[in-house]
Amino acid sequence: MFLPQEIIRNKRDKNILSNDEISFFIDAFATGQIPDYQMAALAMAIVLNGMSDEETAHLLKAMILSGDRMDWSALRKRGIPCVDKHSTGGVGDKTSLVILPLLVADGLAVPMVAGRGLGHTGGTVDKLEAIPGFMAQPGPEQFKNWLLARGGAFGAQTDRFVPADKKLYALRDVTATVESIPLITASIMSKKLAEDLDALVLDVKFGSGAFLQSSDAARELARSLVNAGKMAGCRVEAALTNMDEPLGRAAGHACEVVECLDILQGAGALDTRELSLQLAARAAVLGHQDTSQNAHEKAYTRMKNHLSSGRAHEVFIEIAEQQGAHVSALERSHSEWIDAGTVDLPVLISSKTSQRVKAIDTRALGLLLIEMGAGRKKKEDAVDHKVGIVEMKKVGELVEADEPVCFLRLRKNDVRADKLQQSASAAFTMVNGETSVESKPLIAEWII
Ligand code: URA
């Protein structure tokens, strides 16, 4: 038997916690026997004094054990490996909607438990809920049936799925204890490993729109996530990717879904398409355990074929239909759910000559999206699925005089339109059109 305050004191005094101490604390917190204030105190001690790799691995294990773990042995018996992709999040980060069908088309199973928007970054569950009828928060039985039937399903964290993380994350959010590599590692990886995965690809973002802005911090997190996954027996690799500008040309729920549908039908934003293909190819190599010399190139070609043949699009429609989506809405190129009741207002950078986009304050655009109604100010807020930013110029692109850098899709009656347009315009730094601007690579490095 342990005393919670002794465990907190141990971490406060920079000692290594034993496995039993960690298990006791997490279990008692998840079941309500340790109050929030003691958990918050321990979280703060961890933020300040860190955790060893072994402590982190054990924290992760204790969090997984706090709830139900998925079990895909039935699929493994049929020779189908389970894989997933997780992103630390950003603005316009929508690759999950493309990657899941690509991987299912490649013969893999994808039990994707996604999240809602966090801070200035968007979440897959909110995006999917923009599609009329889409049930993005199934119960565990429903999720299991969908996955077994179609090989892929989108879900969200429930009260039985890593409850220790659900409680702890909410507490960290309001006690300034989010920024800790061990706590983030245990939080992200507990949810992914509770999915019973064979392989996982992580997209760890850095830059002005990322949760960790410096590439050094993102690298440290990526190493910690990969290490924790491997210690738990999962094949994991992480890409460090650039979030110095929004991904794609659209940000906001319905408009991001449309961008993904375009990609699945052979068009769409090139950066989103390329990142989706690269991440899916890595996940496929890890999932199929392809150790041949040019495994990645072969997987990348297969992914491109799944797009060009229309198979990935078909898979997305089948999965969306299974999850209750009104498929007729997805078949029409322009329908009610996308933009009814909204207006697209141009965002201009006043100039008499052509200009080039030098930089985009991506975090500012993320915060602007919250202001527009696409994100939440409080956890319980509803989001507006239709508002967003569309036709965004990318860093390095030329903008002719009086050509918009993007359009704000706002509710027709939004009286703040002028102010919102000004804020959007201020997020774009422009240079003379003759000046060349180097665009950064999408994937800076792989951590394997
Ligand atoms: N996302 C998570 O799921 N957990 C964290 O701690 C941070 C980001």
What atom of ligand 1 comes closest to residue 186's alpha carbon?
6
List, in sequence order, every residue forming a beta bridge with 206; answer none if it has no partner.
Answer: 242
Strands 388-390 and 406-411: antiparallel
> Which residues lie below 8 Å from residue 77, measured CB to CB, with a gap of 6+?
none
- Please, are residues 274 and 254 in contact by the beta-carbon 8 Å criterion? no
Please name the residue whose Cα sits nearest to atom 1 of ligand 1: 188
Q: Ligand 1 mean position to 131 CA, how many Å?
A: 25
* pLDDT at residue 374 in the model: 94
- Please, are residues 235 and 286 in contact by the beta-carbon 8 Å criterion? yes
Structure tokens at 95: 């690759």
The least confident of 27-36, 137-146, 287-296, 345-354 is 345-354
| Residue 187 CB less than 6 A away from ligand 1 | yes
Neighbours of 233 (CB within 10 A): 9
Q: What is the pLDDT of residues 38-88, one digit of tens each?
A: 999 999 999 999 999 999 999 999 999 999 999 999 999 999 999 999 999
- Please, are residues 109 and 75 in contact by the beta-carbon 8 Å criterion? yes
Mean predicted confidence (pLDDT) in 233-253: 97
| Residue 184 CB less than 6 A away from ligand 1 | yes
Q: Ligand 1 mean position to 356 CA, how many Å?
A: 35
* pLDDT at residue 334 in the model: 60
Q: What is the pLDDT of residues 186-203, one digit of tens each?
A: 999 999 999 999 999 999
Q: Ligand 1 mean position to 237 CA, how many Å?
A: 18
| Residue 347 CB less than 6 A away from ligand 1 | no
List, in sequence order, every residue forming a beta bridge with 432; answer none if it has no partner.
Answer: 355
- 3-state SS track over 370-399: HHHCCCCCCCCCCCCCCCEEECCCCCCCEE
* pLDDT at residue 338 in the model: 93
Please name the residue whose Cα sits nearest to atom 3 of ligand 1: 188
Q: Ligand 1 mean position to 184 CA, how many Å?
A: 5
Neighbours of 196 (CB within 10 A): 17
Pocket test for ligand 1, best of 64, 86, 188, 205 (most atoms within 8 A of CB): 188
Distance CA 217, CA 408 (A): 32
Q: How confident is the model at residue 146 (pLDDT cuts 50, 70, 90)?
A: very high
Quick one: DSSP state of residue 90? Answer: -
Please name the residue whose Cα sits nearest to atom 7 of ligand 1: 184
* The residue type at 88: T
Distance CA 59, CA 21 (A): 10
Domains, in order of start, for the chain: 4-50 (1.20.970.10), 73-331 (3.40.1030.10), 336-432 (3.90.1170.30)
What atom of ligand 1 comes closest to residue 187's alpha carbon?
4
The CA distances from residue 197 to 71, 192, 319, in Å, are 9, 7, 20
Pocket test for ligand 1, best of 84, 178, 180, 202 (most atoms within 8 A of CB): 178
Q: Ligand 1 mean position to 188 CA, how many Å?
A: 5
Quick one: DSSP state of residue 18? Answer: P
> Which residues lie below 8 Å from residue 102, measured CB to CB, with a gap of 6+?
276, 277, 280, 284, 303, 306, 307, 312
- Please, are residues 438 and 396 in contact by the beta-carbon 8 Å criterion? yes
Q: How far is CA 272 from the centre of its chain?
A: 13
Distance CA 44, CA 49 (A): 9
Q: What is the pLDDT of residues 367-425, one digit of tens each?
A: 999 999 999 887 778 899 999 999 999 999 999 998 999 999 999 999 999 999 999 99
Q: Ligand 1 mean position to 228 CA, how many Å?
A: 15
What atom of ligand 1 comes closest to residue 172's alpha carbon?
6
| Residue 169 CB less than 6 A away from ligand 1 | yes
Q: Ligand 1 mean position to 213 CA, how many Å?
A: 15
Q: Rg for the chain (alpha carbons), in Å?
A: 22
Show which residues are catalytic: 86, 165, 172, 187, 191
| Residue 113 CB less than 6 A away from ligand 1 | no
- Please, are residues 99 and 276 in contact by the beta-carbon 8 Å criterion? yes
Quick one: DSSP state of residue 297? Answer: H
What atom of ligand 1 comes closest to residue 184's alpha carbon?
6
Structure tokens at 303: 């992914």
Please name the residue whose Cα sits nearest to atom 2 of ligand 1: 188
Mean predicted confidence (pLDDT) in 269-290: 98
Pocket test for ligand 1, best of 112, 169, 220 (most atoms within 8 A of CB): 169
Q: What is the pLDDT of residues 317-364, one digit of tens each?
A: 999 999 999 988 888 666 889 999 999 999 999 888 999 999 999 999
| Residue 188 CB less than 6 A away from ligand 1 | yes
Q: Ligand 1 mean position to 245 CA, how many Å?
A: 21
| Residue 337 CB less than 6 A away from ligand 1 | no
Distance CA 221, CA 181 (A): 6
Residue 86's SS3 state is strand
* pLDDT at residue 143 in the model: 97
Average pLDDT of the chain? 95
* pLDDT at residue 333 in the model: 63
Q: Ligand 1 mean position to 192 CA, how many Å?
A: 11
The CA distances from residue 235 to 99, 302, 304, in Å, are 18, 21, 23
Residue 40's nearest CA partner among 80, 73, 8, 74 is 8
Helices (H), 123-214: 124-128, 140-150, 163-173, 181-193
- Please, are residues 441 and 396 in contact by the beta-carbon 8 Å criterion? no
List, in sequence order, every residue forming a beta bridge with 83; answer none if it has no partner.
Answer: 199
Please name the residue whose Cα sits nearest to atom 5 of ligand 1: 184
